[in-house]
Structure 1
Amino acid sequence: MAEREYNTAMGGNASQGLDPAALLAVVVVAGVGAALAIAALRRRAKVPKWMGLKRYRKRLDVIRRDLDRMAEYVGELRDSQPAVSQPAERGLAAMAVCNWGEAIEHLQEARRLAGKAHLVPLLVQIGVCHYMQGNLSAAVAEFGESARLAEEEGDKLGRCAALANVGVIHHEYGELGSAFTHLSEALTIAGEFDNQRVVALCLGGIGNIQHDKAELDAALKSHEDALAVSLSIGDEPGIAGARGNAASVLRDKGELDQALEMYAEAVETARKSGDNFGYTIELGSIGGVYLDKGDLDRSLKFHEDSLAGASRIGFRLGEATELGNVGLVLEKRGAHGQAVSKLAEASAILLSAGVSRGQIQVLLGLSRCDDKLGRSRIEELLQQGGLSADGAAELLDRVDQIRRRRPYPRPRA
């Protein structure tokens, strides 16, 4: 079996613990096709690079997480000797129910006896598990070694998956040029072998990089292309992801109602297909739109649901994103004491993972809590939340550094 559907690693029932009625109440879908909506917006005038100071500031009020999906690859693992295939199968089964630590143990057992050809898919799958756990340095090391071995073995599809995943991690690190290069190379290989799922995955990743560079028209085109590919092969997780990523671009174009409609379509598609990963991320995105609209109650509900979903599937970066967003909404509601613990926990995860996305927003949120509560009180709250005195001092030093650059004036004494 040369390819395994990548959404199966997310496993389980996407709607578990969440309220479908609340989701259906988000928006009445108007019946305009997603492709037509995207095409119409592409014809509009380009948005200036930083979308104006006011909209740029909105980016600092919420942590945006577009859907970057890992490319899984099993190659010929199932045809390997039983000493390799049996623990590998146990590892894949553990991945399917999001038991990432258990999956790593089984896959490492298979790794010890595997030859080079079977090491390629094993390393890809181990890297995916590390990524879900938020251990990006370990993940990128596994993907890099897999890509090297794949080149030696002439396994182009294995190299394609490894390169795509390196691109996703470089995107998390904020290294946009390197991320684009890796995803573009993976896209070329996937196209040569007509691996349409990975073609769509790479197009989506490239679109997210273009979005981060404020190249909104190019990003929308990439997501439109990813959507067309996913529709052509009936890949529902891919369809959901492309719609959600396109909605994020519409949101930055100021088309909040249209973005909300498209996010709702993405969430419903992910729910029906059992795609927990996409479902969780798009719930958080809906929360971000409601924050933009000033509806803090709805925003908090969707971010809390997204946080619960990320915890269920063990997606550590998703947990950090939504801990941060819950904290940011609580801060806006004036619940500064509650916000501090959420923001501090998010900061710890993001710092440990070494990712760029979200750290500035979290520190700015903490700086505003510091303004309201005072230094002594915030130190007390941080230590009550489990930080040592030195850890609290280090975090507040980072807060002071970001305060000097923040666009929000400090209240007068």
Structure 2
Amino acid sequence: MKISIILYKSKTLADGSHPLMVRISELKSRKYLSTGLSCPAELWDFDKNTPKRSHPNRKLLEAIIAQKKAAYHTKLLELESEQRKLSIQQLVQAIEEPKQVTQGLFPFLSEVYQNLIQSGKIGRARLYKRLLTSLKEFTSNKQLSFTDIDVPFLNQYEAFLYKQGLVENSINTYFQVLRALLNKAIQAKKMKREQYPFQDYSLGKFSTLTRKRAINKEDLQQIIALRLAAESKLQIARDYFLFSYYGQGMNFRDMASLRWKQIVKDRVVYTRLKTGKTMNFKLLPPALEILDRYQKTTGVKAEDLVFPILDKNKHLSPQQIDNRINRVLKQVNESLKEIAKQADIPVHLTTYVARHTYATVLKQSGVSTGVISEALGHKGEQITQTYLKSFSNEVIDEATTLYS
């Protein structure tokens, strides 16, 4: 494809001059585009395609012509570097049509968030919402373009998050979401691949070591031994904690969605919401005792929910379900905090402690990481390794007796 500026003698303007045109040619195809400039024929050098020395505005005209040619050549090289096979018309459209306003990072982030909500991926959407809120706070709500996200920006944002009091695990999550966002932007042609800053900014420096969350046998027995009022918030919180522990470390969201039809005799068969893995395990006597109590309050119809966390007639949309689970989980963890205080346990007790303690039991029993990963319903062993790195070998010495 050849680009040149020519004096178009086929057209004569009112003052007798001729228009200067951009001529794009490829094989037998030609396209002429106006430059908005003109020149009398006697002041144009047709051999060199430049204004003659005698032209009164020669230098200015030469500069404008050079600028026009450079713009077309640059666009042509840019499109060819993207390995795009383009026609003359496509090149013309790429440079002549008004450029669309580049979408900023915040609008794109909001768009990704809304798409996740509509897809029912509420948990993932929440991470993008948190990133949006955090970045707006960091930038004082100033608009960001994708070109603003470079290594110095990431270093400054990292310092901001540390100043906010976040631990490395949490900071790592923010940066993982930001990295995923930029990858989406590249796929959507909102950002050029060469602008991607994570080639020079590594997330490996952030420790993914999970803080110690497991409790020992004595702690567990103290929780069980507490005298709590029947059907009180503390009693319900303890039930959820113990059912998770005795139920193969079941996640709270999975417990909230558990239905009686998924319990067959003394076994539970369900699909993990987070990973889509099918879980199948035997219920131990303490877990069966808990279920027996809830049969009297939630019913035993196949479609009935086991625990009174969600109302199947009220919490219908993914957003309503997610909001309700988050509210109840917050209340349960507040109650577990009080339980830990009453039981004199020096651990920040949450529903996740039950899950981590279950993993510890398996580890101390000599079970391989692969089997523990399968038992917890993890997608891979790497996630399980993150759990197990935080467990010391002194936790739960007599693992085999914990279920008795």
- State TM-score, norm by structure 2: 0.23
Instruction: Point out the structure with max Rg over C-alpha.
Output: 2
With a CA cutoff of 8 Å and minimum separation of 6, indicate the structure with the bigger relative contact order: 1
